[in-house]
Amino acid sequence: MEERIIIIGSNGQIGTELALALRSKYGQESVVTSDIRQPSVASAGPFELINVLDRELLKAMFDKYKPTQVYLLAAVLSAVGEQNPKMAWDLNMTGLLHVLDLAVEFKVRKVFWPSSIAVFGPNSPKERTPQYCTMDPNTVYGFSKQAGERWCEYYFNKYGLDVRSIRYPGLISWKAAPGGGTTDYAIHIFHEALSKASYQCFLSADTALPMLYMEDAIRGTLALMEAPAKNLRIRSSYNLTGISLTPQELSTEIRKHIPDFTISYKENDPRQVIADSWPSSIDDSYAQQDWGWKPEFDITALTNEMLTNLKQNLETT
């Protein structure tokens, strides 16, 4: 069956790479990208300027393209959400409900919506956090994702909507800038290692957080979207991880490439409080069993990829 795909919030860290992957798989014209802002480089296929909160315009876009798949990426991320909690709640909830309702109305075959490890909280187990456990997120981002998961499962159970979701950990990538999350240090550190050979980290040296290299995240997302529906036991959101790492471990790895690299640590950054409430590592055995999840990038491979690609970028700009 021919696919017509819409990505909402396509100009961000994930959308930039997801659009490339989906276009190379399904063809340029089959993937419509859309965002509230114009893309920084001209889109390789159809693009629509759209605010996901504007239901009428959103509906017109669904009507124009009659999508078979929709990926909703527009959201306010963790650190930015804490600066404007009501706005974060509104975008993360109303945007999702608009898309779920229109997906039912237009009989969209599959919807992808990302959740986050932020759905866990201070009383969730910290190590190898399981799929099902106490969840008491204390950021607006976290509880908007938790409520979003409930809505996704509800639309699946009540309306038969084929919604699929992943609780992404921190995503590490070099093609697009990160959007204001708590794990962004793991991207900034590479940029500054190359430009200044030093970095001041906003998280403490031993703050372990689950992370995933973007190439793995995109591969995993496509694998989930292609998996037979009958294999998917989870319609809220799948735990998923690549590796767990601390700023200190990452800086040790970077020093293997840039021996004079130094790292210092800023105290009392509000993002530390968020990081302290999140898991240090994740148990993603449901994703392994249901759709064959297996990450490819460890800390050595991702450090190598980040430095090589960012260095090439610096040399060509």
Active site positions, annotated: 141
Chain residues 197-236 in contact with ligand NAD, contact rule CB under 6 A: none
Nearer to ligand NAD, 45 or 198 (CB): 45
Choosing from 67, 114, 142, 279, the residue that interacts with ligand NAD (CB under 6 A) is 114
Task: Note whether 186 binds ligand NAD by CB under 6 A.
Answer: no
Strands (DSSP E) contained in 217-280 are 238-239, 243-245, 262-265
| Among 275, 134, 120, CA closest to 209 | 275
Task: Note whether 171 binds ligand NAD by CB under 6 A.
Answer: yes
In angstroms, the Cα distances linking 53 to 40, 59, 179, 201, 261 are 22, 11, 19, 35, 44
Cα(45)–Cα(174) distance, integer angstroms: 22
Q: How far is the CB of 218 from ligand NAD (least distance, A)?
A: 11
Cα(16)–Cα(35) distance, integer angstroms: 11
Nearer to ligand NAD, 72 or 108 (CB): 72
Nearer to ligand NAD, 179 or 220 (CB): 179
Task: Note whether 183 binds ligand NAD by CB under 6 A.
Answer: yes
Q: How far is the CB of 144 from ligand NAD (least distance, A)?
A: 9
Nearer to ligand NAD, 170 or 242 (CB): 170
If DSSP codes are grouped into helix, strand and coil, which group holds residue 70?
Answer: strand
Tokens standing for residue 60: 């017109």
Choosing from 19, 32, 77, 102, the residue that interacts with ligand NAD (CB under 6 A) is 77
Task: Note whether 74 binds ligand NAD by CB under 6 A.
Answer: yes
What is the DSSP pairing of strand 243-245 with strand 209-213? antiparallel
Cα(191)–Cα(187) distance, integer angstroms: 7
Which range binds ligand NAD by CB under 6 A, 22-30, 70-78, 82-90, 262-270?
A: 70-78
Choosing from 116, 146, 236, 277, the residue that interacts with ligand NAD (CB under 6 A) is 116
Cα(163)–Cα(256) distance, integer angstroms: 43
Chain residues 10-29 in contact with ligand NAD, contact rule CB under 6 A: 11-15
Q: How far is the CB of 230 from ligand NAD (least distance, A)?
A: 26
Indicate the DSSP class of residue 122.
T
Sequence-distant (6+) residues with CB within 8 A of 258 are 193, 194, 197, 307
Nearer to ligand NAD, 77 or 261 (CB): 77
List contacts with ligand NAD (CB under 6 A): 8-9, 11-15, 35-37, 50-53, 73-75, 77, 91, 114, 116, 168, 170-171, 178-179, 181, 183
